[in-house]
Structure 1
């Protein structure tokens, strides 16, 4: 059995207190292993994005534990957490999070440079990632010179460049047409087949079908999971969580 890359143990996240208290996640357990792509589905407000932000160390859990390659995130200070994210975690945000003052290639190369990769090598990796995305022509363009779909693909290239062991993607195909969305999913699937672990939030069963299994959230609770080889079960459960 492959090594766990991500482990969520009784993960809980609560916002506010008293009458304003909201339970975004309620005791979620999830293990994602090397070579595995897991899709997360559920209705709006079910806790999908919260699960990703916690798994990537971008927010702090109220209870439970998060481990990346056996390292508990709770044991890291801010500097250690930032280093782990740069080295091991690729994150695709819904709103791209590209730096406006940097070109596409510079946005992709920056995390690698911060982790000690020489500038020339980081640039070469960035250009290669853009070529794989079919975006070689935007290497020297700034975000405001690109379409939304191009920005999304640049953000995905940034998440996949280098030796990221964990890739977290929040609706990675949201700004893309169907054909480009399939290309992106093929890349994500390929990265997992090469040994990374992936977690992807999606509301589209056709994209979830690229995953090895699908987990379903409702009201912050993991209510079900199914292997994507069981297509009928996947579609039925997806309809039931809308």
Structure 2
């Protein structure tokens, strides 16, 4: 890494620089993202909004190392994801990145606790410690009582909360959430947003795709995407963020 790159990425958990993603060729070519720049530092909660097809989910998959940029750089804690081996990239995803998918992606043959603890066990954490961490994360999202149930024994909303617990377990520095409250009622959704806000306040970074302006109120910054391009960034007033954080704390008591 050059001295300039070190200065550019210093202190950033996530850094996208000139990132584009193109699907297809010729007449069928689609530009999902176009020259996107985004920096997210410790403690920041960023909401990404925009119409359907604007590139929101593509941004998350690139940030999480689940897809490769056609051009540009994606760095997580200073590591260029495009230059990592498959093994090294998998290790970064397990240790540093928590991802909340729209369709949950829970393993049917594993219980809720086993789904949440699996990434920790793959990283060499003992089964006992991994389960303890999983139960803590499940309690944060309000589903500890379902720890030993299988996904098909849970409602959609309960599965979503298990998926969020899996993204939060351990010392994840970057949480990427694609419509994390989509299957939840209003009160439970607010509780989950309060958990994400608290994680950021404790030093993690989060990027959340949402269609709901009310949910974006929890973020420090709102990034607007249109046709794969960042068209606007809005900084949330600190007093508004404080009120939402306080409301979330009150609800969790």
Classify the TM-score, shorter chain.
over 0.9
* 1:6 lines up with 2:22 in the alignment: no
* 1:84 lines up with 2:92 in the alignment: yes
The answer to whether the Cα contact below 8 Å between 2:32 and 2:54 also exists between their aligned partners in 1 is yes
Whole-angstrom CA distance in 1 between matches of 2:144 and 2:232? 41
TM-superposed CA distance for 1:230, in Å, is 8.9
TM-superposed CA distance for 1:83, in Å, is 0.3
Q: Structure 2: 5+ residue runs without aligned partners?
A: 1-9, 240-253
The alpha-carbon distance between structure 1 residues 226 and 21, as it changes in their structure 2 partners (threshold 3 A), is same
Residue from 178, 185, 189 that aligns with 2:193:
185
TM-superposed CA distance for 1:127, in Å, is 1.1
Residues 74-100 of structure 1 show CA distances to partners (whole Å, capped at 9, x for unaligned) of 120100000000010000000000000
Whole-angstrom CA distance in 2 between matches of 1:23 and 1:29? 15
Residues 76-131 of structure 1 show CA distances to partners (whole Å, capped at 9, x for unaligned) of 01000000000100000000000000000000000000011110000011111112
Question: Which consecutive aligned stretches of 4+ in structure 1 deviate over 3 angstroms post-superposition?
Answer: none
Whole-angstrom CA distance in 2 between matches of 1:97 and 1:229? 35
Residue from 18, 23, 44 that aligns with 2:31:
23
* 1:32 lines up with 2:40 in the alignment: yes
Question: Cα RMSD between the aligned structures?
Answer: 1.4
Residue from 85, 101, 123 that aligns with 2:131:
123
TM-score, length of structure 1 as denominator length:
0.93
The answer to whether the Cα contact below 8 Å between 2:173 and 2:205 also exists between their aligned partners in 1 is yes
TM-superposed CA distance for 1:137, in Å, is 1.5
Whole-angstrom CA distance in 1 between matches of 2:45 and 2:217? 10
* 1:222 lines up with 2:230 in the alignment: yes
Any idea what SS the aligned residue of 1:86 has?
Answer: helix
* 1:64 lines up with 2:61 in the alignment: no
* 1:141 lines up with 2:155 in the alignment: no
The alpha-carbon distance between structure 1 residues 133 and 230, as it changes in their structure 2 partners (threshold 3 A), is closer
Whole-angstrom CA distance in 2 between matches of 1:186 and 1:166? 16
- What's 1:166 paired with? 174
How many aligned positions are there?
231
Residue from 118, 121, 124 that aligns with 1:113:
121
TM-superposed CA distance for 1:136, in Å, is 1.8
Whole-angstrom CA distance in 2 between matches of 1:196 and 1:228? 18
Whole-angstrom CA distance in 2 between matches of 1:95 and 1:195? 27
TM-superposed CA distance for 1:227, in Å, is 1.0
